[in-house]
Amino acid sequence: MLHVFGGILVFGGCLVVDRILKVLRLGLDKVVEILHPNRASVPKVEVREKLAQMYKTTPDLVFAYGFQCHFGGGRSTGFALIYDTADFAKKFEPKYRLLRQTGTKAEKSGRKQRKERKNRQKKVRGTKKTKVAAGKK
């Protein structure tokens, strides 16, 4: 599928619909190809908006990643996933991609707390480690 948006050509690769994960996968190998002559690269926010427009969804459900500019310029390729709902996106997307998309910072506990938790976990084995990591409630 080829779409032209303000000097940018967007090729959506082969479309794979995964009903188990409730996601549209844009291809498996090359996926999304963007031609952007006279521009160094295209921001991911812009790519998400264009893909959302192409597939009639909202940009917050489109997860674009792994984009690389090709030598010589003017062309980039990457991957994209389009989820049915935000709940499915939160359930199946890796945490780091969710944080990148929303622009929030991950909460980090204090250094001493992390070290104490690590040392408590070393004293137990197996599934009990998660209980120790959760702490007292």
pLDDT category at 32 given cuts 50, 70, 90 is confident
Q: What is the CA radius of gyration of the chain?
A: 20
pLDDT at 66: 92
Q: Hey, what CATH class is 2-102 in?
A: alpha beta
Q: Which position has the token pair 């989820």?
A: 83
Q: How much is the mean pLDDT over the chain?
A: 83
Q: How far apart are the first and last CA of the chain?
A: 52
pLDDT at 29: 47
Residue ranges per structural domain of the chain: 2-102, 108-137
What is the average per-residue pLDDT within 116-135?
Answer: 89
Q: Does 12 have pLDDT greater than 60?
A: yes
What is the average per-residue pLDDT within 114-132?
Answer: 91
Q: How would DSSP label each residue in 51-90? A: HHHHTTS-GGGEEEEEEEEPTTSSEEEEEEEEESSHHHHH
Q: Does 15 have pLDDT greater than 90?
A: no
